[in-house]
Amino acid sequence: MSSSKKKVSVVFGTRPEAIKLAPVVLELRKRDRLEGSVCVTGQHRQMLDQVLPVFDILPDADLDLMMADQTLSGLTARLIESIDRYFTSERPDFVLVQGDTTTVFAASLVAFYHRIPVGHVEAGLRTGNLYAPWPEEANRVLTTRLSTLHFAPTDSAYANLLREGIDPNAVMVTGNTVIDALFFANSTVEKAPPVIEGISDSDWFLGKERMVLVTGHRRESFGEGFLHICNALVRLATDNPGVHFVYPVHLNPNVQKPVFDIVGCNRSNVHLIPPQPYLAFVALMKRSFLVLTDSGGVQEEAPSLGKPVLVMRRTTERPEAVTAGTSRLVGTEEDLIVSGVERLLSDLDEYRRMSGVANPYGDGRAAVRIVDAVESHLFGATEVLS
């Protein structure tokens, strides 16, 4: 590396982080004064490996820390020790993390111990409840206190940070990088539609039958919450035989057991499939009539594709879509989930109202703004380009 260059380490461990940081990594490659280095922790092993080739990203370091039945405490301890060794060896000038995973918190803490400035992508999201989502809310609050630059995706996230006393000069509204990634992926899907095994070549998928795309994986819903979600899906599939329900089932046993035990695969309009590669999932979103989810990223992506979103959570740190009207909270109560889906299936005016709302999460240039700000910070520029 040239002595005039500064090294920026991008650290992530899960599929959502990879998707949202990929545009930043690609933008770093374009800068003459910056050298991007990618470190993955492997917090999501299989799902992470599905994403990186889409963006032609090969990690410079793979800590491979995923273990079966790991506890949050055990994972955090392994992350801290491994990232410490990585930073000691690589000596980055700046660290970029994204979101609210255990990897994000651990990397930010270790960077602080090494006195390395941290840029937090998607900063300022809040529910105000440390236990919902758990442990994500605590991870992002703690990461805020350890960060030097805060890249807020929306005006409301910016306002959250200012209310917490963060210096306004250290906060920048960038839009969400997930939209950058989605634009990239959507273009790829349109040119070469991916194959979704057992789905994409079926008569109903190629026809006009409506499809509800379902995702669910939140820890706070494990147990009773997932029982309600699964019972709701059974009712919906039974009462709407002409509507197909596609659920890429998360690999966590706390998700797989209730889904397969209760929902099962013995209904012709229920399709339980493995977690999908990123491009295939984008294709599923494009094909869907509506999306039923507890995922943060999907709440941001689906509106860009004109898809109404019903959020199976009691609170959301992404209120912009709810305020705009493109998403609605239905929680994990069986009756609320069923009534929410039934309304959109039967009320065309309501469906058009939700699907026609402009996405509040960005214009696809968030990565450019983020890398501009990092470069300005490292080289002492007096103005951040936009």
Residues 6+ apart with CB under 8 A from 256: 249, 250
Residue from 27, 136, 294, 334 carrying the catalytic annotation:
136
Q: What is the CA radius of gyration of the chain?
A: 21
Closest residue by Cα to residue 10 from 31, 2, 357? 31
Topology at the third CATH level for domain 198-355? Rossmann fold (3.40.50)
The answer to whether domain 6-176+363-379 and domain 198-355 are alike in fold is yes
* Cβ pair 147, 116 in contact under 8 A: no
What was the pLDDT predicted at 221? 74
DSSP state letter for 120: E
Q: Which residues pair with 61 in a beta bridge?
A: 39
Residue with tokens 């270790």: 110
DSSP state letter for 195: P
* Cβ pair 309, 341 in contact under 8 A: no
Residue from 122, 300, 372, 375 carrying the catalytic annotation:
122
Q: Which two tokens stand for residue 268?
A: 């012709």
Q: Which residues pair with 327 in a beta bridge?
A: 309
What was the pLDDT predicted at 35? 97
Residue from 140, 250, 271, 369 carrying the catalytic annotation:
250
Q: What is the mean pLDDT of the chain?
A: 92
Peptide bond into 258 cis (omega under 30): no
* Cβ pair 15, 51 in contact under 8 A: yes
What was the pLDDT predicted at 49? 80
Reported pTM: 0.84
Compute the distance between CA of residue 129 and CA of residue 120 in angstroms, rounded to an integer.
20
Residue with tokens 């860009």: 304
Residue from 114, 219, 235, 343 carrying the catalytic annotation:
219
* Cβ pair 271, 247 in contact under 8 A: yes
Element (H, E) at 224: helix 224-239
Clarify whether 120 is annotated catalytic.
no
Given a cut of 50, the residues of the chain with pLDDT beneath it are 1-2, 382-386
How many helices, marked H, and strands, marked E, lie in the chain?
16, 13
Residue from 45, 150, 217, 313 carrying the catalytic annotation:
217
Residue from 100, 300, 301, 320 carrying the catalytic annotation:
100
Closest residue by Cα to residue 367 from 102, 156, 182? 182
Clarify whether 219 is annotated catalytic.
yes
- CB neighbour class for 357 (10 Å; exposed up to 12, middle 13-18, buried from 19): middle
Clarify whether 136 is annotated catalytic.
yes
Compute the distance between CA of residue 73 and CA of residue 91 in angstroms, rounded to an integer.
26
DSSP state letter for 116: -
What was the pLDDT predicted at 289? 98
Topology at the third CATH level for domain 6-176+363-379? Rossmann fold (3.40.50)
Clarify whether 93 is annotated catalytic.
no
* Cβ pair 350, 343 in contact under 8 A: yes
Domain ranges of the chain: 6-176+363-379, 198-355
Could you read off the pLDDT of 186-231 as tens digits, one per residue? 999 999 999 998 898 899 999 999 999 999 887 777 888 889 999 9
